[in-house]
Structure 1
Amino acid sequence: MIEFLKAHIWSILVGLNYLLALFAIVVILFKNINPTKTITYILVLVMLPFVGLLVYYFFGQEYRKSKIFNRKNILNKNIVKKLADEFHLKSKDMDRLDAFLDDKIKLVKLLYKSENTPITRFNEVTILKNGKEKFQYLFEDLKNAKHHIHLEYYIIKDDDIGGKLIDIICKKAESGVSVRLSFDDVGSKISSKSRKKMKQAGVEFHAFMPVLFPRFTGKLNYRNHRKIVVIDGEIGYVGGINVSDNYVNYKNGESFWRDTHVRIVGEAVKPLQVHFLMTWDFVSDSNLKITQKLFPENTIKTETAVQIAASGPDTDWANIMEAIFVAINTADDYVYITTPYFIPNEQIITALQVAAKSGIDVRLLIPKISDSWTAKHATNSYLEMLLEADVRIYRYEKGFIHAKTIVVDDVFSTIGTANLDYRSFNINFEINALIYNSKTSEELKNHFLEDLKNSEELTLKDWQERSTFTKVKEAYARLWSPLL
């Protein structure tokens, strides 16, 4: 028997591989997921023995419906419901908002029924351009914290800027301020020295879904890609800027990083707090006592409507993708999109094509040089069909553009963590601020137009003349796009 196994070991392993692959294919087919994604997984399982099973194990399993990321009921049922009741708009208030937004009221109504996405009216919003400006505001707010500091980041590194942040929160913790930090275990890199320092200072910190070898698992599914800060329940931050020297442009233009964040003071901080607490409940397994100090009364009287939209494996709907889809479809004049990774689904592609062919000024700004070979070529594979539909496409040349923003008709804008790709729409935990305000929209539009001065515009004729080898690379990368 042993001799037989030795003589036929590869045949047995290959047979076992395809038996497991067949079982995986049946599971995929019964899930009724996107056909393109289904075909991609089936091809990988059939054409790449052993490797295909690993790819499916790490990237192919869909947890949204199985609810393994459910938070504890006390947060979901009590706190979230209370906030939904608190921000329930009276009919006259909804009518006022309807008059301002016109067709874009559909955006509010789309997310309004979700208890996690109430519309808040009274906020002060500050757009923060690039890391230097963000950290100037953030560090000052952290130093002035009186009761608690909550931080949730995809990337925190204890380099220069990260070390400064850690120093501040350690000092605040030592002074009696409650400091809680959640960081993604794949994206972040915090040394044992810094962890020891935080622990001794009284900072509570937990990694989100720890993995055994973070350096080799950069694309593992279900990562927490959010960037949230809540200070005293009164000030909130959300956007694209992580905590790392890469985001601050320390190198005097050698490696310029263009990004956007937003600082919010007012009612919208409460939904941000809820999302932090639900993550904290998941990573810490603690019974944090919910007090009024976490949700203080709002004192802001400036009327700027904001919704906080979150999506991930713990939500029943792809809230952010649906909001972007509706925003494009309800545009009257223009849609200006900035994203570092553009690997869209069919819904977004169709929405952009239809809007542009209908006479809407649709513009897309992406990096010319990407930090991912596969993502770059996958993105490029979508550009010709958009150019054919009169979408204007620009590639940023000054450095790497990492901002994730959309502005529509001087009325609606969004700033957040979600890219326009499969991973942000379906796999990772993301969060965006949806802002209904003409002043904020015009400011973000001006930032976009300023960025175009540092960009090249693609033309259909020139783009079609790229080499056949380049097109082959794009086709190869696009095949993997549902997995990126």
Structure 2
Amino acid sequence: MLSPSFLSWSPPLWFSALALTIDMIIRVVALGVVPHNRRPSAAWGWLLAIFFVPIVGVVLYLVIGRLALPEPRRRRQAAVPTIAGVDDAGGRADWSAPSGAADHSAALPEWVRDAVRLNRRLTGLPLVPAYAAEVLIDYTASLERITRAVEGARRAVHLQFYIFAADASTEPLIRAVEKAHARGVEVKVLMDHIGSLGFPGYAQLVRRLDRGGIPWHRMLPVRPWRGEYQRPDIRNHRKIAVIDDEVAFVGSQNLIDASYNKKKNLRKHLQWRDLMLRVEGPVVAHVDAVFLADWSSESGDAVPPAPPAAPAPMTGPGRILCQVLPSGAGDNPGKDEEANLRLFSQLFYSARTRIIMTSPYFVPEESTLVALTTAAQRGVDVRLYVGEASDHPLTHRAQRSYYEMLLRAGVTIHRHRPPYILHSKFLLIDEDVAIIASSNVDMRSFALNLELDLMVCDRDFVRRMDTVVAAYEDDSSTLGLDEWMSRPLRQKYIDNVCRLTASLQ
């Protein structure tokens, strides 16, 4: 029990003056340091935290306030075009074709060519063909397709996923990886450290990889006791599988059971709903270049540059035009960051008839919100597909805080019903462009996470994606403004408070 003398104690004048001086110094320094290379909303979020709780705010800022990854890692990411065999990453007027090749985007609408040029300028990667593109919407079937590809591998298996765990659903794939390694196939596995760490089956997977002598690395490891540290909430969120430089899988699905093996998910019978794309052809080399740059970043291995690729035929049966978009805090050093945000914004403003977007975590920054609401107000059919249920309560609450503004602008919101967690990430613009993504439409995917998106410029492919949209719509309810405005005041308050946390980046 505290004594009365302690309760009546007051600090000496010098102590109060010192505390006040330190407090003022923290605030003044923060005013000049925090806004550096940060959008105003993010700067204000950090400044509010520091001004209200100076010590806690400063500690958080020091731990998670740095936007970029270390320079050596960024230099390796800059090598992606060279690794892909692209011999000219910039400096020319023709940004859509490899050096010495014709501009194969000439047949595309002008606004699509603008997007291609922008993406080439941001990433150094040109438009190239895929000879086949298979949309995989069944979670189990997608795992089986990757497994069969690994079983048939002759030269190389490259797997890079945000989450990878050993469980009943991934067991056939893990066995296929072990057998491929045993028969002499070059196997390399990357998994995000923090992304995978909290899931049942991660430790078991690590033990099996080690026991089998299979080369693998944690992506962006946070183990300061081993000298491994960077901002812990910058994560490698890519989902990539490349087999024999011939086949690649990209999209939103992780290598884990559809329930994510969490007890609360099993209790509620929740199942993740994802979308992956299987592609063949020259685009595979560009996907693999992103993998190899990340592998080099984590392993320290040097990756020999590929020779410039010979121009590939861009037309013919089954060929579609694709462009790989790597983005994130570690990519494109010396260039504009947020490559995915810039491409998305360009497409939103270019849309004439429709914007269809599926994103499990929709927490847009200002420019995205303005672009989408502006498109709706000028008559574009803007449809947003999100989940009614979510595995991230804070993010889900923040997402809900944007619904009123979107609905008032004319955006149609479809909420996918439980027990499915809608985790697919894709974007359709008019009848011409689709983006199959690992990126969410949120500030984390735009400013922090390392992502891998694929832009497909092909009308037949977009029509195939329309069938996916129709299936999602059948399993969704349409949110009305009156219904949304009648929700309890307590929910509105919590949603708005959670929205404030979105600015801390």
Give the distance between the partners of 1:296 and 1:105, measured in 2 at CA.
22
Amino acid at match of 1:309: L
One of 311, 319, 325 as aligned partner of 1:303: 319
Q: Does 1:408 align with 2:429?
A: yes
Give the distance between the partners of 1:220 and 1:154, measured in 2 at CA.
14
Query: Cα offset for 1:460?
Result: 1.5
Alignment of 1:299-378 (within 5 A): 302-313=318-329, 314-315=331-332, 316-317=335-336, 318-378=338-398
Query: Cα offset for 1:162?
Result: 3.2
Call closer, same or farther: CA 1:456–1:442 in 2, change over 3 Å. same
One of 238, 241, 248 as aligned partner of 1:226: 238
Counterpart for residue 300 of structure 2: 285
Q: Does 1:23 align with 2:43?
A: no
Counterpart for residue 381 of structure 1: 401
Amino acid at match of 1:93: H
Alignment of 1:170-249 (within 5 A): 170-189=178-197, 191-212=202-223, 220-246=232-258
Query: Cα offset for 1:395?
Result: 0.9
Query: Cα offset for 1:185?
Result: 0.5
Call closer, same or farther: CA 1:231–1:23 in 2, change over 3 Å. same
Query: Cα offset for 1:331?
Result: 1.4
Amino acid at match of 1:364: L
C-alpha distance after superposition, 1:388-411 (max 9, x if no partner): 111111111132100101112221
Amino acid at match of 1:324: F
Query: Cα offset for 1:110?
Result: 1.1
Alignment of 1:413-424 (within 5 A): 413-424=434-445
Which deviates further from its counterpart, 249-258 or 439-448? 249-258
Call closer, same or farther: CA 1:173–1:480 in 2, change over 3 Å. same
Q: Secondary structure at the match of 1:187?
A: helix
One of 422, 436, 453 as aligned partner of 2:457: 436
Give the distance between the partners of 1:77 and 1:103, measured in 2 at CA.
24
Give the distance between the partners of 1:332 and 1:275, measured in 2 at CA.
32
Q: Secondary structure at the match of 2:497?
A: helix
Give the distance between the partners of 1:173 and 1:192, measured in 2 at CA.
20
C-alpha distance after superposition, 1:104-130 (max 9, x if no partner): 221111112345321002431111103
Counterpart for residue 503 of structure 2: 482
Counterpart for residue 144 of structure 2: 136
Q: Does 1:112 align with 2:120?
A: yes
Mark the runs of 5 or more structure 2 residues left unpaired by the alignment.
Answer: 1-10, 90-96
Counterpart for residue 75 of structure 2: 71
Q: Secondary structure at the match of 1:435?
A: strand
Mark the runs of 5 or more structure 1 residues left unpaired by the alignment.
Answer: 1-6
Give the distance between the partners of 1:239 and 1:447, measured in 2 at CA.
14
Query: Cα offset for 1:289?
Result: 4.8
Counterpart for residue 59 of structure 2: 54
Q: Secondary structure at the match of 1:211?
A: coil
Q: Secondary structure at the match of 1:186?
A: helix
Check whether the contact 2:85–2:305 (CA below 8 A) recurs between aligned residues: no
One of 31, 35, 45 as aligned partner of 2:50: 45
Check whether the contact 1:71–1:282 (CA below 8 A) recurs between aligned residues: no
Call closer, same or farther: CA 1:460–1:123 in 2, change over 3 Å. same
Give the superposed CA RMSD. Answer: 3.2
Give the distance between the partners of 1:305 and 1:10, measured in 2 at CA.
68
Check whether the contact 1:233–1:295 (CA below 8 A) recurs between aligned residues: no
Counterpart for residue 3 of structure 1: none
Q: Does 1:266 align with 2:271?
A: no
Give the distance between the partners of 1:155 and 1:326, measured in 2 at CA.
30
Query: Cα offset for 1:468?
Result: 1.9
Amino acid at match of 2:83: I
Amino acid at match of 1:458: L
Tell me the TM-score normalised to structure 1 length. 0.88
Give the distance between the partners of 2:301 and 2:406, measured in 1 at CA.
48
How many aligned positions are there?
A: 470
Check whether the contact 2:362–2:441 (CA below 8 A) recurs between aligned residues: yes
Which deviates further from its counterpart, 114-123 or 247-256? 247-256
Q: Secondary structure at the match of 2:234?
A: coil
Call closer, same or farther: CA 1:211–1:143 in 2, change over 3 Å. same
C-alpha distance after superposition, 1:358-386 (max 9, x if no partner): 11111001111111121111111111111
Amino acid at match of 1:204: P
C-alpha distance after superposition, 1:239-278 (max 9, x if no partner): 1000111368997993232111111111111111111111
Which deviates further from its counterpart, 43-52 or 178-187? 43-52
Call closer, same or farther: CA 1:193–1:349 in 2, change over 3 Å. closer
